Structure 1
Amino acid sequence: MFTKHAIRQLIRARRISRVNLQNSYICNKEHLGRSLTLARNLQIVTEKAKCITCYLPIKGEPDTRYFMTSNKHLKVLLPVIIDRQLYWRIWRNAKEHQGPFGTFHPAGKNLSKHFLDKTDVMLIPAAAVDKRGYRLGWGKGYYDRYLARVKRSIPVFAVVFDNEIFDEIPINDWDKKLTGVVTEKRILYFSRTHKPQVRTRSK
């Protein structure tokens, strides 16, 4: 099994390479194609949602912008890092401000936890996910601390590229299992509770 450090190094190198290649016409077409198929999969897991959390991509992360701009019926909350804590603000598709670690923050007020408890689905970034349902972040712990306080009834999906899913990654006692993971190629569900029911034709 890879160490956390080795996985992060591998993913960081892949994403940097992907960003560097996006300047070419062919890779731009590939990027658009990945964004479109990712958006379709994200629409599936948020089909019945009215309010979700998401993120603005940085450093080669899966691009969620097409999904957000093409689903204007959704109220989208984006993360804000202030004093080493994770907060959330409503995204209004306006100019963002530079945040720490290369992040972008939407303008506006930080939302209360009471508001966040009404979120229907959480879409969160990750460095990697394993097939058991555990997420690996970048080591800062922002999402780990936040997810520990999230209501268990709220489904949480990590968003990664398909080659960022590993058989197994090292975990800690406090790591919380995800509802599922969404990639540009597929959706993996780790919780039967939130898996969509298969619809059959009535006879």
Structure 2
Amino acid sequence: MLSQTSNIKRALRAELRERRRNRTSTERESATEAFTQNLIALTGQHSAKLVACYLSAQNEPNTRPFLNWAFANGISTLFPITREDGLLDWAHGDGETEAVGLFGMPEPVGELLGPIAINDVDLIIIPAAAVDAGGMRLGWGRGYFDKTLGSMQKCPPVYAVIYDDELLDTVPREVHDQPVDGIVTPNRILTF
């Protein structure tokens, strides 16, 4: 049986998914340019040479132009690969080939490096449904990133990529939920 908090999270996620689906192509294109510039700036601020970042799905903030920039500028990137046990493997990918992961999300094709590969990155960029003013992240409900972040002994800066209207006053929280250090939106980089 789901807790009251779990039910609230499910309802909020449904609302946020609908908002993303209703964004126009013009809004998405404009946001993509701004996301890209802010992700480039964030990488520079942290002097990151190895970045963990997700491959965006259709209605997510588009990370691909940033990833193309990283590849062209010698920034190595690790991508998450979902596993059935709830953990994430990591891969560098070849920059072009993608597969469909366990939950229909895009994943790179490349040598699997295992869950501990993320311990070597300088910066982690993750998806989110929303983030609150204190840095608590609401994910999409499977807990992969919460497990990963919660298991790291020395975690580099973690930033969630969201639209400006997905920064909320508060998000529902459960004991396993992990906060982020900041967010990247089309209009800003915010560190908590």
Q: Shorter-chain TM-score category?
A: 0.7 to 0.9
1:140 aligns with 2:142: yes
Contact between 1:123 and 1:158, CA under 8 Å: does it hold in 2? yes
Q: Offset at 1:133?
A: 0.3
Partner of 1:109: 111
Q: Distance in 1 between matches of 2:65 and 2:58?
A: 17
Percent of aligned positions that are identical: 36
CA distance 1:79–1:113, shift in 2 (3 Å)? closer
Q: Distance in 2 between matches of 1:59 and 1:31?
A: 10
- Aligned alpha-carbon RMSD (Å): 1.9
Deviations 1:66-124 (A, max 9, x none): 11102221111111112143111103212211112221121122114553211000000
SS of the counterpart of 1:88? strand
CA distance 1:114–1:100, shift in 2 (3 Å)? closer
Q: Distance in 2 between matches of 1:153 and 1:8?
A: 26
SS of the counterpart of 1:71? helix
SS of the counterpart of 2:120? coil
- TM-score (norm: length of structure 2): 0.87
2:185 to 183, 189, 194: 183
Q: Distance in 1 between matches of 2:156 and 2:33?
A: 25
Contact between 1:56 and 1:65, CA under 8 Å: does it hold in 2? yes
The one-letter code matched in structure 2 to 1:85 is L
Q: Offset at 1:173?
A: 2.3
Q: Offset at 1:53?
A: 0.7
2:20 to 12, 15, 21: 15
| Structure of greater Rg | 1
Return 107-116 or 88-97, whichever deviates more. Answer: 107-116
Q: Which runs of 5+ in 1 are unaligned?
A: 191-203
Partner of 1:197: none
Q: Which runs of 5+ in 2 are unaligned?
A: none
